[in-house]
Chains A and B, each alone.
Chain A
Amino acid sequence: MTTEVGSEPEVKKEPEKSSEEAQAEQQQQLAEQPAEPSESEPSAAAEPQPTPTDSTKPDNTDQQENAEAEPSSPPPSSGQKKEKGISRFLPPWLKRQKSHSQVEPKESSSPTDTPNQTLTEKQEEEEKEEEEAEAAEEQVGKAPEEAEKRQEEAGPKEEGEAVSPVVEQPAETKEVKAEVKEEVKAEEVQAENNSVGSVETQPAKEEKEGTSAEKKGEKGGEEVQESSVLSPLKLGKKMKIVVCHVTLLDGTQFPCEVEKRAKGQYLFFKVCEHLNLLEKDYFGLSFKDNADQRCWLDPTKEIKRQIRNSQWQFAFNVKFYPPDPSQLTEDITRYLLCLQLRQDVSSGRLPCSFVTHALLGSYTLQAELGDYDPEEQRLDSIADFQFAPSQTKELEEKVVELHKSHRGMTPAQADVQFLENAKKLSMYGVDLHHAKDSEGVDIMLGVCANGLLIYKDRLRINRFAWPKILKISYKRSNFYIKIRPGEAEQFESTVGFKLPNHRAAKRVWKVCVEHHTFFRLTNPEQPTKSKFLTLGSKFRYSGRTQAQTRQASTLIDRPAPYFERTSSKRISRSLDGAPVISVSDHGHMLDSARTPGSGENGHDPALELSSDSKSPQVEEEAEPGKGAVAGAVPAELPFETGTDGADSSETKSKLRVQGENIYVRHSNLMLEDLDKTQEDVLKHQASISELKRSFMEAAPEPRPSQWEKRLTGSPATGLRLQAQGSLEEELTSLFLSKARFTGLAASYSTAAAPAESAVTASSEKGNVHLGTVSSAESRNIDQSAEDKLNSEINGQPEVIEVVEETVVIEEVVKAAKPKSSAPEVSVTVASSATEEVPEVKEEEEKSASSDSESEEEAEFHPQSPSDSAHHIQEEPEEEQEQSQKAPPTNAEPQQDAEPETTDKVEAVVNQQKEEDEKTPGEETVVAPEDAPNGHHVQDGEEALTSLGAVAEEEEELEPCVVNGDASHAETERVPQVICCSEPPVVKTEMVTISDTFAAQKTEIATKEVPIVHTETKTITYEAAQLDGTGDGEPGVLMTAQTITSESLCTTTTTHITKTLKGGLSETRIEKRIVITGDSDIDHDQALAQAIKEAKEQHPDMSVTRVVVHKETELAEDDD
Chain B
Amino acid sequence: MQADFGRFTHAVIRAAPDSLAAQALRSGPAELQVDMEAVRREEEQYVSVLEKTLGLRVVRLEADEELPDCVFVEDPAVVCGNTALITRPGAPSRRKETEALKTALANLDLNIVEMTDESATLDGGDVLFTGREFFVGLSKRTNRRGAEILADTFQDYAVSTVPVLDTLHLKSFCSMAGPGLIAIGSSEAAQKALKTMQQMSDHKYDKLTVPDDLAANCIYMNLPDKGHVLLHCTPEAFPESAKVFEKLKDHMLIPVHNDEKRKVDGCLTCCSVLINKPSKV
Contacts and interface: CB of A to CB of B under 8 A. Distances in A.
Partners in one complex: yes
Nearest to A402: B281
A460 B161 contact: yes
A570 interface: no
Interface in B121-136: 132-133, 136
A450 B202 contact: yes
A457 interface: yes
Contacts of A458: 148, 151-152, 155, 159
B179 to A, nearest CB: 14
Given A353-B81, A458-B148, A459-B147, A405 B281 contact: yes
Interface string A701-740: 0000000000000000000000000000000000000000
B111 A354 contact: yes
B156 A461 contact: no
A459 B159 contact: yes
Given A355-B81, A355-B82, A463-B201, A457 B1 contact: no
A425 interface: yes
Classify chain B's interface size. 20 to 34
Contacts of B281: 405
Contacts of B83: 353-355
A369 to B, nearest CB: 21
A460 B200 CA distance: 8
A462 interface: yes
B209 to A, nearest CB: 16
Contact of A426 (B82, B157, B199): B157
A352 interface: yes
Interface string B222-253: 00000000000000000000000000000000
A353 B155 contact: yes
A455 to B, nearest CB: 9
A459 B152 CA distance: 9
Contacts of B258: none
B217 to A, nearest CB: 24
Interface in A457-472: 457-463, 465, 468
Contacts of A461: 160-161
Contacts of B154: 353
A461 B132 CA distance: 17
B26 interface: no
B158 interface: yes
Contacts of A460: 158-161, 200
A351 interface: yes
B208 to A, nearest CB: 20
A1000 interface: no
Nearest to B149: A458
Contact of B161 (A351, A424, A426, A459): A459
Nearest to A425: B156
B189 to A, nearest CB: 14
A122 B157 CA distance: 53
Given A405-B281, A462-B200, A352 B155 contact: yes
Interface in A398-441: 405, 424-427
A72 interface: no
A343 B112 CA distance: 28
Contact of B151 (A425, A457, A486): A457
A352 B161 contact: no
A468 B198 CA distance: 13
Given A458-B148, A459-B159, A463-B200, A426 B133 contact: yes
A348 to B, nearest CB: 10
B144 interface: yes
A426 B148 contact: no
Contacts of B199: 462-463, 465, 468
A450 B202 CA distance: 7
A486 B148 CA distance: 28
Contacts of A462: 199-200
Interface string B186-214: 00000000010001111000000000000
A459 B160 contact: yes
Contact of B144 (A356, A448, A459, A465): A459
Main secondary structure on B side of the interface with A = mixed
A354 B81 CA distance: 11
Contacts of B136: 459
Contacts of A354: 83, 111
Nearest to B155: A351
Contacts of A425: 156
A966 B279 CA distance: 59
B129 to A, nearest CB: 13
Interface in B75-120: 81-83, 111
Contacts of A352: 155-156
A228 B210 CA distance: 81
B135 to A, nearest CB: 9
Interface string B147-190: 11001101111111100000000000000000000000000000
B245 to A, nearest CB: 27
A426 B150 CA distance: 14
A461 B161 CA distance: 6
A460 B147 CA distance: 10
Given A458-B151, A458-B152, A460-B200, A426 B158 contact: yes
Nearest to A424: B1
B137 to A, nearest CB: 12
Contacts of B160: 459-461, 463
Given A450-B202, A463-B199, A463-B200, A457 B156 contact: no
B156 A459 contact: no
Interface in A339-374: 351-356
A352 B156 CA distance: 5
Contacts of B200: 460, 462-463
A1110 B200 CA distance: 29
A457 B144 CA distance: 10
A356 B148 CA distance: 19
A423 to B, nearest CB: 11
B64 to A, nearest CB: 32
Nearest to B202: A450
A468 B195 CA distance: 14
A459 B111 contact: no
Nearest to B196: A462
Contacts of A459: 136, 144, 147-148, 151, 159-161
Nearest to A450: B202
A486 B159 CA distance: 23
Contacts of B161: 459-461
Most chain B CB atoms below 10 A, which of A351, A353, A427, A486: A353
Contacts of A448: 202
Contacts of B2: 424
Contact of B156 (A405, A426, A450, A486): A426
Nearest to B111: A354
Interface string B45-65: 000000000000000000000
Contacts of B148: 457-459
Contacts of B82: 355
Nearest to B135: A460
A356 B83 CA distance: 12
Interface string A216-247: 00000000000000000000000000000000
Interface of A: 351-356, 405, 424-427, 448, 450, 456-463, 465, 468, 486
23 contacts: A352-B156, A353-B83, A353-B155, A353-B156, A354-B83, A356-B155, A405-B281, A424-B156, A425-B156, A426-B156, A426-B157, A448-B202, A450-B202, A457-B144, A459-B136, A459-B147, A459-B148, A460-B159, A460-B200, A462-B199, A463-B160, A463-B199, A486-B195
Interface of B: 1-2, 81-83, 111, 132-133, 136, 144, 147-148, 151-152, 154-161, 195, 199-202, 281
Given A355-B83, A426-B156, A458-B155, 18 more contacts: A352-B155, A356-B155, A424-B1, A424-B156, A426-B133, A426-B157, A427-B158, A448-B202, A457-B148, A458-B151, A459-B148, A460-B158, A460-B159, A461-B161, A462-B199, A462-B200, A463-B199, A463-B202
The 5 closest A-B pairs by CB, nearest first: A426-B158, A458-B151, A460-B160, A351-B155, A463-B200
